[in-house]
Amino acid sequence: MFMIVGLGNPGSKYSQTRHNAGFWFLDAFHKEIDPGSGDVPFRLQTKVSAEICRGRFYGKDCILAKPVVFMNHSGQAVRALVDYYKVSVDNLLIAYDDLDLPPGTTRLKKAGGHGGHNGMRDIFRHLDDTGFMRLRIGIGHPGIKDAVTAYVLSRPSADQEQQMMHSIGDAVAVMPDLLAGNVSKATKDLHTGDDSPAN
């Protein structure tokens, strides 16, 4: 069983904000595997505090999950998901927005720190093993630390949004390789697929 968790805040108020880039990725991936978005829909599973889509995608039993708790409490949902579905951290991918990467850049990475991201920080508090894979989706930085909260909770400009969606599309394109276990190929293809410097 492979699990992909996208991080974001629940509710329409936040759906188009930068902080919901993890949800954007899951929606794009879901659309790719189910163009009509009806055969394998997301369904709320209150016992794991997430909307779940479960199916066999690219030959792999897979769960897509969107926590329905707020970003700062992402860890409780991820812990519930991992425990309930008995998923190894080796088969866990967390997708989230990253201030340290410019819009238009996505990076795959295994293990590492939380980078100051509130959702990731909470996941670190709840999981004993943080050696899972991450998909970091660049949103850019406002340039001033005090402006970060307002920045991540606002909608990107049209140009930035287009860049983000393009890079999310690039990430979706490498998912078949990742799910097949070809992590090195998926990573290489993703990281050479844009013009941004590696980070």
- Active-site residue set: 19
CA distance 21 to 105: 12
The torsion angles phi and psi of 6, rounded to 5 degrees, stand at -100, 135
Contacts of 137 (CB under 8 A, 6+ apart): 21, 22, 24, 25, 95, 96, 97, 98, 101, 106, 164, 167, 168, 171
Distance CA 191, CA 199 (A): 10
Take residue 80 and report the two structure tokens written for it: 């519930």
